[in-house]
Amino acid sequence: MIDFYSKPRYDFEDLCQLVRVLRAPDGCPWDSVQTHESIRRNFLEEVYEACEAIDQKDPVHLREELGDVLLHVVFHAGIEADAGNFTIDDVCDTVVKKMISRHPALFGGEQGLDWDEIKRREKGQTSPAEELDSVARSLPALWRAEKLQKKAERAQIPVEFPEVSAAVNELEKQPDKTQAVGKLLFAAVQAARQSGVDPEMALHGYCETFIRQVKYAGKE
């Protein structure tokens, strides 16, 4: 057992040991009963707080928040270790192997492949629809829509909405396009609210519709 009160400085192994102590049957009553699901929101909140520290260009705050994120990574891995599925070392092994595979120019491997092609091969994706379907559904809807559109465009899948072309053309005339787009999105949220529609769920729903349309088109 590590004497957590006497060390002047702690490292990654100490963090892993600390999590094991907290999660032990005779450890912390709260930590020992947590699940992936029960601390999911906490994990997400810590990531957002780390992002806020980045935006604030505050290295002291960022150091603290990255520690909180790392604690959650080790904690989630500890849950899986207790279940006999994988350990934090397996997590490290997986990500190192992934990064080596995705940088063939540095570490050797098949040359001439771009990042997206390497990812598609890793995941066994053989069609644009499969690549679209792999975009995380837990992303905020606006972010998810952007990723879907970028992937669709790379696959030369048309992303066109004639019914809003006039609004898009009007944006091109605005001196501050960022503000203009923000205003358009804000107005879309208001329109959804006034119609009794949850804008986040509505956009997620249309993302699913778009994926289905691509799948259907691929079968024709």
167 and 88 in a common domain:
no
48 lies in which domain range? 12-99
Torsion angle (degrees, nearest 10) of CA 213, 214, 215, 218: 120
Per-residue pLDDT tens digits for 94-131: 999 999 988 888 888 777 677 777 777 777 777 888 88
Q: What is the C-alpha to C-alpha distance for residues 107 and 81, in angstroms, rounded to an integer?
A: 30
What is the Cβ-side half-sphere exposure of residue 124, based on CA atoms within 13 angstroms?
A: 0
- CA 6/CA 177 separation, integer angstroms: 57
| More confident of the two residues 165 and 58 | 58
109 within domain boundaries? no
| Residue 84 buriedness (CB in 10 A; 0-12 / 13-18 / 19+) | exposed
Which carries the bigger pLDDT value, residue 161 or residue 201? Answer: 201
DSSP per position, 40-73: HHHHHHHHHHHHHHHHTT-HHHHHHHHHHHHHHH
Single pTM value for the model:
0.76
Residues 93 and 136 in one domain: no
Note whether 78 and 19 are within 8 A (CB).
yes
Residues 1-46 have pLDDT tens digits of 667 777 889 999 999 999 999 999 999 999 999 999 999 999 999 9
Token reading at 101: 């595979």
- Provide the domain count of the chain: 2
71: pLDDT strictly greater than 70: yes
Residue 113 counted as domain residue: no
